[in-house]
A and B are shown apart, each in its own frame.
Chain A
Amino acid sequence: MEKDQLFLSVLKENKGAISRLCSVYTNNKQDFEDLFQDVLLNLWNSLNSFQNKSSLSTWVYRVALNTCLNYKRDKSKTLKQASLNIAIKTIVDFTKSSEKALETKALYDCINTLKDIDKSIIVLYLEDLPYKEISKIVGISENHVSVKIKRIKILLKNCLKQKL
């Protein structure tokens, strides 16, 4: 499969997941679009180095989360900006709380109170990935992942109790 076809099929299959990850690390539409574009560019640039050692979806989560975690740092350095808006349009601003149901808004608010790294781990859990996959994406042992998820879930549920 040619690179651009592979890229587009990766994008088609993972657009929702990428969008959910980006919305956790941004607070407004502009930042969301910038980060979404950054993820796409990094997916394209990293596609050549994909070595089939992990599944394509694991790799997509890695690239997307690394981009999200590096977003603030790389913001000043990136070479692109804005031009991808020609090809990508965001119809609804999901970063606005009015677009979310009450419980979704509460969940997002509570995730936002977590540390950036903990956000990554819980988001992967919420994406329904098995611990083995999460461990491959994060780079820590499965046991460590399960301990961390347990702790983060307690924080999240306590926060949700207060909000709902």
Chain B
Amino acid sequence: MNNEDLKFIWGKHNNGEHITIDEEKLIDYIENNYYGIKKAVERRKWIESLAAVFVIFFFVYLAVTGNNLLIRIGSLIIVFSALLVIYKMQKYNPHKKSNYGNSIFENIKESLTILRSEANFLNSVLYWYILPFQIGIIMFFLSFELNIFTLLLIIFSMLVSAIIYYLNINLVKKTIKPQIEVLEKNLKILTEE
């Protein structure tokens, strides 16, 4: 079988005639529904930020009016950590995609950069999300009378933090790292002589 035979077999098989496209419906869907979903995601991001702003106002109020030092310091730490979370979340875009109009080589490199920064972002969740918030919450609870109820609240908050940490680390290990490995392998195949 020569090269022209291969090209002939390839071209004759599937010329797209088996796909029918309703052009009007397609454009209508893309222009309305698709961007509608994107808008919904943006809206959700704003609602999350608004919730964080509400938390900030509440704890700023406690930091100013709190009747002991622990509640004031705890509240300030919570405010600081909420601001840090907002900043990090606004900087990080989980739906960011590489430019599909680039060459395959450039696209792989760009995708690798995105995935590596995603992995770094999730791997560092302990330092910018869990620890500051956890320290603030513990100080806040300790400012109240120490009894079984406050102790249970502290344990519960620590448990939630541990679950959040595990989910993030697991996502990196099970999903992102294998994808990085595939892209690195593809890049190696492309560049090897």
- A interface with B by C-beta (< 8 Å): 4, 7-8, 11, 15-20, 23, 36, 40-42, 44-46, 49-50, 59, 62-63, 65-67, 69-70, 73-74, 76-77, 79-80, 83-84, 86-92, 94, 100-101, 103-104, 107, 115-118, 120, 125-128, 136-140, 144, 147, 153, 156-157, 160, 164
Contacts and interface: CB of A to CB of B under 8 A. Distances in A.
A89 B16 CA distance: 11
| Chain B contact residues: helix, strand, loop or mixed | helix
A8 B102 contact: no
B25 interface: yes
B148 interface: no
Interface string B123-135: 0000000000000
Contacts of A125: 7
A91 B16 contact: no
A80 B26 CA distance: 13
Contacts of A44: 30, 34
A41 B18 contact: no
A19 B16 contact: yes
B21 A15 contact: yes
A110 to B, nearest CB: 10
B186 A117 contact: yes
A20 B14 CA distance: 6
A137 B104 contact: yes
Contacts of B14: 16, 19-20, 23, 94
A117 B191 CA distance: 11
B50 interface: no
B177 to A, nearest CB: 12
